[in-house]
Amino acid sequence: MGPLERGTQQGILAFYVLEVTGSASLMAVSVALQGVSALFMLPAGVLADRFDRKSLLIGSLVLAAVVTIGFCVLIALGIENYLFILTFIALSGILTSGQMPISRAILPMTLPREHLLNGISLGTITQSLPRVLGPGIAAFLYDLFGPEAAFLVGAVVLLFGALAVLPLRLGEIDQSDGRAGETSGADRSYRADMSEVVYFLRSNPVMLTIMALMCVAGLVMMGPVNYGAPIIFREIHQTSAGSLGIAWAMLSAGMVVSSLFITRVKDMPNKGGFFAMAIMGGGACVAGMALSPTPELVIFCFFIWGCGGGFYMNMSQGLLQMRTPDRFMGRVMSLSSLATLGLMPIGVAQVALIDNGLGFGTQSALVISGIICSSAALVALLAHREFRQAR
């Protein structure tokens, strides 16, 4: 689905912009724009709590496929204008970002709560497995046939995702909390919807801590890697798009490995602690990528980062979804997704500032980001007992 297409294209898109423009700054702008597009997650979350989630998801998948195919046609015709690239990033980013909270809100409707963590882990596996081969195939097609062939892989993934959603049968969303005279979901204002879910989150310290750490991950883990990885492979290690594609594939392979482990554990206590340790490990991997003397070691860091990423994804989503009523699910999922992806542009900007503005260089900027990331997670792990022991 959308996250699969995002994973398939995230490496080659930055590489393509860097190749077309020859500018790391313009590449940073394009990466940041993907995060800005993530702001659409908020209205998408509201829509997911008001209307049929299945129809919303299928519609957004098909539209994203059409946009991607149109972009491929422009490249095939030799139209490689930076403005067109930014337009494609914005449109596909809005549609893909909208799919994330909707798809995550659908999962709890298909499983009893006691099986939710296993369902989330299996969902991570099914999303990650195509990404193991996807980036490698996309990078291979990029080197062999050109960027249009690589981006076409993403369109195919989106169309298959829409077909996969068709057989789902979902019940009605429970909009009531038992209070008489409550305004129906379709009649509430956007502001009232968001105020309601913010009040709900404020009353849950564990969920607030999870959201805060996801913000940290977006600022000093996701953003720096999306900015730094193409530069590390292309300019520091002088490799092709294939190496970057393999790195993203190994990230997904690591997520599959850790998710398979989680599915074999019947009851995992201290989910909050595992989540915080995954972020600590992620910060160490970011620094490791920057300091690795060879591209092979950078790829190995991506794999280890992915192993921690499985715990990051499954523990955070498990804790949030198990604590969230169905009528809030779309909005909570939109806020959790936005916490990471929506702050990525700021993460890109801060690491670009350290790199170019302050003159520290890409490698030093990534090391500084990694240290901040690990330190913030360590503070939460030691200071918040309820969060650390959350089940």
Nearest to 92 by CA among 172, 207, 6: 6
Averaged pLDDT of the chain: 81
pTM: 0.75
Among the ranges given (62-76, 104-118, 229-243, 366-380), the one the predictor scored with the smallest mean pLDDT: 104-118
Confidence of residue 35 (pLDDT cuts 50, 70, 90): low
Residue 285: what pLDDT? 94
What is the Cα 133 distance to its own chain's centre? 18
Q: Tokens 């882990």 label which residue?
A: 121
Confidence of residue 180 (pLDDT cuts 50, 70, 90): very low
Residue 1: what pLDDT? 47
Residue 182: what pLDDT? 46
126-135, 232-241, 324-333, 376-385: range with highest mean pLDDT: 376-385
Higher pLDDT, 322 or 376: 376
All residues at 6 or more sequence positions from 64 whose CB lies less than 8 Å from its CB, including other chains:
2, 5, 92, 95, 96, 99, 158
Asked if 68 and 95 count as a contact pair (C-beta separation under 8 A), the reply is no
- Tens-digit pLDDT profile for residues 244-292: 778 888 888 898 888 888 888 767 788 889 999 999 999 999 999 999 9
- Tens-digit pLDDT profile for residues 106-154: 877 777 766 677 777 777 776 666 666 666 677 777 777 878 877 887 7
Higher pLDDT, 40 or 307: 307
Q: Does domain 2-165+190-388 have CATH number 3.40.800.10?
A: no
If residue 336 lies in a helix (H) or strand (E), which one and from where to where?
Answer: helix 329-341
CA distance 22 to 80: 13
Confidence of residue 3 (pLDDT cuts 50, 70, 90): very low
Nearest to 54 by CA among 156, 157, 126, 161: 161
